Structure 1
Amino acid sequence: MNLIKILKEEDIPKKYVDTPIGELIRYHNFNMPFKEYDTAQILVGMCMDNRNQLNMPPNFAYIIRTGGGNLRYSEFKVSYAIAIGRIKYIVLFGHNNCGMVNLVSKREDFVNGLCELAGWTRERAEEHFMNFATMYEVDNEIDFVVNESERINAKYPGIEVVPLFYNIDDNLIYFIQY
């Protein structure tokens, strides 16, 4: 899989140029002036990581932020955005240096943080980590977002679902060629 850097209009794949996906790219990567929107045009699924900040206008998108951009436990929200919000496009973002990659290696820091900051007992914090870490761990950011996009697309075949990559080093959106 390759990342395609989008630096100019011609870099946007033709099938997305006249869609909300193309608009999102223009807003974020090219600083296109914001239009006004009364309703959401797109659903954005992305990691909760504070380093990921999209440049887009108010009311442009529904946004679901979860660890690693994993929408597996947010499907009702996805269904709501489609059925009630009438969106036809979903973009899922992976990003580099995601904290959900190799989550098991962060076990001790996770447990200690809950004990020190949340006042949890060590036993409770360890049990919490063991019950949930495997549900949220990501092996590889790009593979995960491509697989998650394919899973969501299979569930909602009438919706365009596109995996994208947010590079926290240059704050640009990239397409994933797979």
Structure 2
Amino acid sequence: MNFIKVKEEKDIPEKYKNTPVYKLLCYQNLGAELKAYSSAELLIGMCMDNRKQLRIPENFAYIIRTGGANLRYSEFKVSYAIAIGGVRHIVLIAHNNCGMVNLVSRREQFVKGLCENANWDIKRAEEHFMNYAPMFEIDNEVEFAVSESGRLSRKYPGISVTPLLYSIEDNMLNVIE
């Protein structure tokens, strides 16, 4: 897959001109002046990772944050943003170094953390991990964002769905092609 690093307006692919995706890239990467919005133009699905922060105006977007930007278990919220909120564009923002990649390798840390921080017993913590980790683990951040974008495009054929990659190192959004 190719990535387009957006450092200037001319780097944004033509197909995004005059769309909320274009505005998002300008706000985040180019420091565009934040404008006032009375309603959301975009739904952003992004990881819950605390290292990511978007620079966007108030009321510009609905945001659903979930591990790995996995919206499979948030479809009612997606439908709400489309049906009630009127959004016609979705971006799925993956990021590098995502904790949902190879989640099974964090099993011991996960179980230990629940035992120490939430006072769970080890059996309960292990069962919790084993019941939920397979639903949320992803193999590769970028491939998952592209695949999830395709799934959502098929589910909501009238909606534009765009995968992006957030770089933790420089807080920049990259277009995934």
TM-score range, shorter chain: over 0.9
Q: Name the counterpart of 1:175.
A: 175
How far apart are the structure 1 equivalents of 2:2 and 2:132? 31
| Residue 41 (structure 1) aligned with residue 7 (structure 2) | no
Q: Name the counterpart of 2:88.
A: 88
Shift of 1:4: 1.0
Q: Name the counterpart of 2:31.
A: 31
1:126-171: CA deviation from partner (whole Å, max 9, x where unpaired): 0000000010001000000000000011000000000000000111
Q: 1:143 aligns to what SS in structure 2?
A: helix
Q: Name the counterpart of 2:62.
A: 62
How far apart are the structure 2 equivalents of 1:5 and 1:22? 13
The code of the aligned residue for 2:81 comes to: A
Q: Name the counterpart of 1:12.
A: 12
Q: 1:40 aligns to what SS in structure 2?
A: coil
The code of the aligned residue for 1:159 comes to: I
Q: 1:58 aligns to what SS in structure 2?
A: coil
Shift of 1:52: 1.0
Q: Name the counterpart of 1:126.
A: 126
| Residue 141 (structure 1) aligned with residue 149 (structure 2) | no
Q: Name the counterpart of 1:99.
A: 99
How far apart are the structure 1 equivalents of 2:32 and 2:6? 14
How far apart are the structure 1 equivalents of 2:98 and 2:153? 23
**Unmatched segments (≥5 aa) in structure 2:** none
How far apart are the structure 1 equivalents of 2:97 and 2:3? 15
Shift of 1:24: 0.4
Compute the TM-score of the two structures, normalised by the length of structure 2.
0.99
Structure 1 runs of 4+ off > 6 angstroms?
A: none
How far apart are the structure 2 equivalents of 1:141 and 1:58? 27
How far apart are the structure 2 equivalents of 1:30 and 1:10? 11
Shift of 1:77: 0.1
Identity across matched positions, percent: 63
**Unmatched segments (≥5 aa) in structure 1:** none
RMSD of aligned Cα (Å): 0.4
Shift of 1:48: 0.1
Shift of 1:3: 1.3
How many residue pairs match? The answer is 177
Q: Name the counterpart of 1:161.
A: 161
The code of the aligned residue for 1:93 comes to: I
